[in-house]
Chain A
Amino acid sequence: EAGVAQSPRYKIIEKRQSVAFWCNPISGHATLYWYQQILGQGPKLLIQFQNNGVVDDSQLPKDRFSAERLKGVDSTLKIQPAKLEDSAVYLCASSSPGAGSRTDTQYFGPGTRLTVL
């Protein structure tokens, strides 16, 4: 079974530029997550989708970050304009609801390492 795919793997931009990340979840997984992982810290949830609807975006800096999952499969995360503090690894994860379970195992992609200069 193919895992979660992400691209690009690395991106270097200057502050105030825009950047976009792409994620393709595991086939059949209805739930998709975007996390931000700053060096030395655990991942922090930015946004969670259930199919193409947003479940939780409470920690997404909406003045500069946006995400979409128009057809309920692939997703893109955009930052516009980027700040120095956005330098981090952006992880995508997906999960599939189990019968009677509200918490499902999340499978992570390799992440995109963003450096903002």
Chain B
Amino acid sequence: GENVGLHLPTLSVQEGDNSIINCAYSNSASDYFIWYKQESGKGPQFIIDIRSNMDKRQGQRVTVLLNKTVKHLSLQIAATQPGDSAVYFCAEADTGANSKLTFGKGITLSVRP
């Protein structure tokens, strides 16, 4: 069936470096994508979203890139800080069908001081 997945289970980066977290999706009908951050013992926290009519969107220190040709989504975090350490999930939805989000498995970002 359709699924959303992440390439790597863990990512370790040096504090101050840029981080890139990648996600592949397989539902070609998906037109809305979100990145969530989940810290230990907390619920997922919205980071940034992007719709399929865009290929790039920037927030504060974060950028999401969407490549619909290869069904690939990435989250870039600039100047990674210790507070960025968490599990990151991508999620996708086909808004033409409903607003149901399908989440990937998650990737752990570990920031080395």
- Closest B residue by C-beta to A93: B43
A-B Cβ contacts below 8 A, count = 53
Residues of A close to B93: CB separation below 8 A: 103
Q: Write out the residue numbers on chain B whose beta carbons fall within 8 Å of the beta carbon of A104.
A: 99
Q: How many residues of A contact B (CB 8 A)?
A: 24
> What is the bound-complex CA distance between A105 and B8, given in angstroms?
26
- On whether the beta carbons of A105 and B105 are closer than 8 Å, the reply is no
- Interchain CA distance A63-B59 in the complex, whole Å: 44
How far, in angstroms, from A105 to B44 measured CA to CA in the complex? 12
A103-B95 contact given A45-B100, A93-B43, CB 8 Å threshold = yes
Would you call A108 an interface residue if the criterion is a C-beta within 8 Å of the partner chain's C-beta atoms?
Answer: yes
Q: How far apart are B95's CB and chain A's nearest CB, in angstroms?
A: 5
Interface size, B (range): 20 to 34
A24: min CB distance to chain B, Å: 14
In the complex, what residue of chain B is closest to A45 when comparing beta carbons?
A: B100
* Nearest Cβ on chain B to A10's Cβ, whole angstroms: 10
Contact between chains at B99 and A103 (CB < 8 Å): yes
A48 to B98, CA, bound (A): 11
Contacting pair A42 B98 (CB below 8 A)? no
User: Which chain B residues numbered 45 to 71 have a C-beta less than 8 Å away from chain A?
Assistant: 45-46, 49
The distance in angstroms between the C-alpha atoms of A61 and B101, with both chains bound, is 18
Q: Are A42 and B106 in contact (CB under 8 A)?
A: yes
Least distance between A6 CB and chain B CB atoms (Å): 8
- A56 close to chain B: CB less than 8 A: yes
B46 touches A105 (CB 8 A): yes
User: Cβ of A93: which chain B residues have Cβ within 8 Å of it?
Assistant: 43
Instruction: Provide the bound-state CA to CA distance between A102 and B99, in Å.
Output: 6
Interface string of A73-107 (1 = CB under 8 A from B): 00000000000000000010101000000111111
Closest A-chain residue to B43, C-beta based? A108
Q: How far is the CA of A93 from the CA of B41 in the complex (A)?
A: 15
